[in-house]
Structure 1
C-alpha cells in the first residue's frame, strides 16, 4: 500500500527551508567525523597510512543505501511514527543512532582497538545515511515539483556546506586544544539539534500522547540501535575472518573486488530488463518490498534506465576525483596549512553557498537540460582552476580565487543534480529510488578516487585535474538523449 504523504503544511515556506537547512547541517557533521576527521585522528595515533586507507572504505556505505532504503518506505518506527509520521519517525531514530555512535567514538578516541573504532565508524556512517534517506524521501513527498525542489535543495545543501566548516575546522580546533574526545562530544551535541525540533512538532500521524509516543519511540530505538550494532559487529567479524583466510592484508589492492561486488545488483537488474518490462502490476517482482522500488524504476524507464545510470555515474565524477587530491597538490605548491585552512573556511563556504543558491534559484526558471549543461561547465572550470593555480606564483589571494571557483562549481552542479534526481523518482517509492540513484551516482567515482594517487604518478597533477574537468564536460554528451526520455505511465 502506498504510504500516506504528510500534509505540506508541516513545513511550508521559510519553516521548510529552515528545517531542511538543519537536516543538511545534522547530516554533514557526522559525515566529516567518520571520514576526514577520523583519518586525521588515526594519523595522530600513529596508524599506518595503508590502514587509514582501508578506513576510507567506510565512505562507500552511503552508496549502498539502496539495500535498506525500502524498509524506510514500508515500515514506521514504533512510537515516533505513530505520532509524528513515517519520515520524521525515521529521522528521529537516525538522530539517536548518530548520537550514540558519536558518543561511542568519543569514548574510544584513543583508538586502542582499530576493530572497535571501525565498528563505531560504520555505525555512524549507517545512521547518517539513514537520516539522509528519510529526509530526502520526506522532501520529495512534500515538494514534488521542480519549482518547489529548487529552494528546499538549496537550503539543505547550505546546511551541509556549513557543516563542512564546523566539522572540518571547528572539530580540529577543539581536538588540538581539548582532545579528540571533546571534539566528538561537541559535534555529537550539534548534530542532535533536529531531534528536539521534530519532537516539538504537532502530530502528523494518528496522534495520541506526545510523552507516551516519545518514551515508546526512544525505547524502540534503543532496541533497534542495539540490534544494529550487534549485527554490524557480527558481519564485520565474518568479513575480517574471510579477508584473513583469503590472504588480504594492508598492502592488498581490493578495489577491483569491491567494484565487482558493488556492481552485481545493478548488472543483474539491467540483465533482467526484458522480463521487468513485461511484468504485470501483480507480478511478484513489482510487488516485492525489497526489489519492487528498483524494479519500478527500470519498468518505467526501460532501456533508457541504462542511459540514466551512465549519466548519473559520470556527472559528479570530476568533482569527486578532485576532492581528495586538491589539498595535497596545493600544499605541494608551497602554501601553508594555515593558508589552506583560511581558504577552506569562509571563502569556500561563501562560494559554495552562492553556487548552491544560484543553482536552486535557476531550477525554478530554466529547463533542466540547460541547467545540467551549465552545471557540468562550471564544475569543469573549477577543476581547471587548479591547473591554472599550479602555474602561478604562491599568493594567498590566488588560492582564494581557485578555491572559490572550485566550490562555486561544486555547489552549483550539486544543487542542480539533486533536483534532477528528485524528479526522476516515483513518488510511491521516494526513499528507495532516490537512495538507489544517489548511491549509484557516487559508487564508481568514489572507487576510482582511491586510485587517484596512482593516476597522479603517471600523468601528473596537471593531467589529473585536466582529466577530472574533461570528465565533468563529458556528461554533456548525454543531454540530448536525456531530453527525449519520458517515464512510462503506471498501469495500476
Structure 2
C-alpha cells in the first residue's frame, strides 16, 4: 500500500508571480485553519518542546550547578537517539503497540504511547541532580531524547499521511513554525519559570525540578491533539493491506526498501554527507550559546526575555522568509542562501562577546541567529522532502535523513566546549562560521553534478 501523494512540489524553477486578488489571500489564510492543518501545527509544538530539555536548557542548568564546560559539551552526546532513530523507524511503521493501536489506530496509538513515555522521562530528568550526579542526569536526558525522537518518527509519518496535497504546504509551514515555538517555550519559557520559582524563595535545585515538571505537563498539548485527531485513512488502509504478513516480514520490508532505494541513486553518499553537514554550523554554535550568555554575565531572565520576545518574532518572520525563498528560487539557490546566512550569523555572537553585557548586542545576536536559522530550516526541510521520492517508505526514509542531520548536533558538536575553552568566546564563534565551509563545498559539487536539477518536481 502506498503512502498518499501529499507532499508539496519542490521544483528547480522559480514560482510564477501571484496575481490572485484579495480573495486568494483569504483562501491562503483559511487553509491554515483547516482541522488537519491545525492538528499538524499542534503536533509540531509537541515535537519541538522536548529537544531543548535534553539540550540547551539542560546545559544552562548544569552550568549553574557548577559542571565544567568540557562535560557540558559532551552532553551533546545524549542526542544520539535523534541520530539513530532510523534504526527503529521500521518498527514504528510495521508493529502495533498493545492496547494503544487497538484503541486509537496505527499512528495515533504510537503517538499516544510515545507521549506517555515522554512525560515519564521528563519527570525522571526533573528529579535528577546535575550538581552531585551529572552522569545520572545525562542518562535521564538520554531517555528523554529517545522518547522524543520516537514521537518525531510518528509525527512525520502522520503529517505525510493525513494531509491532502492542497493542505500539505500549509501543514509543513505550520509544523516548522510550531516546532520552533515549542523549542522557545522549553528554552526561554523554562528559564523564566525557573527564575520565577527562585524569586518566590525556592532553592535553585527545587526551582529547576519544578520547571521541568511544568515542561512535562505541556506535553499533554500533544496528547490532547492526538486524541482529537482522526487516524489517517492511508495508514488504516496500509495496516489492513499488510495484516496477513508476519511482524518480522513487515519490519524487513519497511527497512530494506527504504535503504536500498535511496542508496541506488547517483551521488547518494555525497547527498547524505551534505545532509549531515548543512546545519552543522548552527549545531556547533548552539551547543554553547546558553553557557556563553551566562558566562558573559547575563541573567536567565535577561536571556529568556530576549529569546521569548525578539527571538520568537525573528523565528516566525524567518520561517515565512524561508518559505518565500524556497518558492522564489531554485532548490540549489535556496540552499546557498540559507547556508551562507546561517553561517555568517555567528559573527553577531563574536561581536556580543566583545561588547560584554550589552542588552542591544544580545538582542541583535539572538534575532540574527533565530531569523537565519529559521530560513535555513525551512529550506532544508524542503530538500529532505524532495529526497523522499518513494511513497512506499516515506516515513523510514525521512527518519533516516533527519537522523543523519542530527549527527552534527550530536557527535560533531560534542567537542564545542573544549574549542570554546581553548579559543575564548569571540574566536569560538568565528570558528563556527568556518565549520560551514565543508557543507558549502559539497553544495557546489552536487550542484555541478546536476543533483538538484535531477530531483525535478517531486511529490511524496
Q: Would the TM-score normalized by the shorter structure come out above 0.5?
A: yes
1:451 paired residue number: 415
Q: Secondary structure at the match of 2:345?
A: helix
Structure 1 pair 392–184 and aligned structure 2 pair: CA distance change class (3 A): closer
1:357 to 316, 320, 328: 320
- Given that 2:107 and 2:235 are in contact with CA atoms closer than 8 Å, whether structure 1 keeps it comes out as no
Q: Secondary structure at the match of 2:417?
A: helix
| 1:36 maps to 2:91 | no
Q: Secondary structure at the match of 2:82?
A: helix
Deviation at 1:446, TM superposition (A): 3.2
1:93 to 108, 113, 122: 113
What count of residue pairs does the alignment treat as equivalent?
406
2:22 paired residue number: none
Structure 1 pair 120–205 and aligned structure 2 pair: CA distance change class (3 A): farther
Q: Secondary structure at the match of 2:391?
A: coil
TM-score (norm 2): 0.76
Q: Deviations over 1:49-98 (max 9, x none)?
A: 65555543212221111111111222233444356443222211111111
Structure 1 Cα separation of the partners of residues 252 and 100 of structure 2? 26
2:222 paired residue number: 194
Deviation at 1:26, TM superposition (A): 1.4
Structure 1 Cα separation of the partners of residues 418 and 41 of structure 2? 37
- Given that 1:102 and 1:185 are in contact with CA atoms closer than 8 Å, whether structure 2 keeps it comes out as yes
Specify which structure has the bigger relative contact order, considering alpha-carbon pairs within 8 angstroms and separated by 6 or more residues: 2
Deviation at 1:441, TM superposition (A): 1.8
Structure 2 Cα separation of the partners of residues 293 and 382 of structure 1? 36
| 1:479 maps to 2:454 | no
| 1:466 maps to 2:441 | no
- Structure 2: 5+ residue stretches without partners: 8-30, 237-248
Structure 2 Cα separation of the partners of residues 343 and 140 of structure 1? 34
- Structure 1: 5+ residue stretches without partners: 209-283
- Given that 2:43 and 2:155 are in contact with CA atoms closer than 8 Å, whether structure 1 keeps it comes out as yes
| 1:17 maps to 2:56 | no
Structure 1 Cα separation of the partners of residues 6 and 272 of structure 2? 32
- More off after superposition, 29-38 vs 329-338: 329-338
Structure 1 Cα separation of the partners of residues 422 and 129 of structure 2? 37
- Given that 1:151 and 1:360 are in contact with CA atoms closer than 8 Å, whether structure 2 keeps it comes out as no
2:405 paired residue number: 441
| 1:421 maps to 2:398 | no
Structure 1 pair 463–411 and aligned structure 2 pair: CA distance change class (3 A): same
- More off after superposition, 352-361 vs 175-184: 175-184
2:82 to 54, 62, 66: 62
TM-score (norm 1): 0.71
- Given that 2:314 and 2:368 are in contact with CA atoms closer than 8 Å, whether structure 1 keeps it comes out as yes
1:157 to 176, 187, 197: 176
Deviation at 1:350, TM superposition (A): 0.9
- More off after superposition, 334-343 vs 97-106: 334-343
- Given that 1:73 and 1:431 are in contact with CA atoms closer than 8 Å, whether structure 2 keeps it comes out as yes
2:288 to 325, 330, 333: 325
Structure 1 pair 457–65 and aligned structure 2 pair: CA distance change class (3 A): same
2:257 to 286, 292, 314: 292
- Given that 1:83 and 1:203 are in contact with CA atoms closer than 8 Å, whether structure 2 keeps it comes out as no
Structure 1 Cα separation of the partners of residues 448 and 261 of structure 2? 24
Structure 2 Cα separation of the partners of residues 393 and 112 of structure 1? 31
| 1:26 maps to 2:46 | yes
2:240 paired residue number: none
- Given that 2:283 and 2:408 are in contact with CA atoms closer than 8 Å, whether structure 1 keeps it comes out as no
| Match runs of 1:53-202 below 5 Å | 53-82=73-102, 84-108=104-128, 117-143=137-163, 149-176=168-195, 177=197, 179=206, 180-202=208-230
Structure 1 pair 192–441 and aligned structure 2 pair: CA distance change class (3 A): same
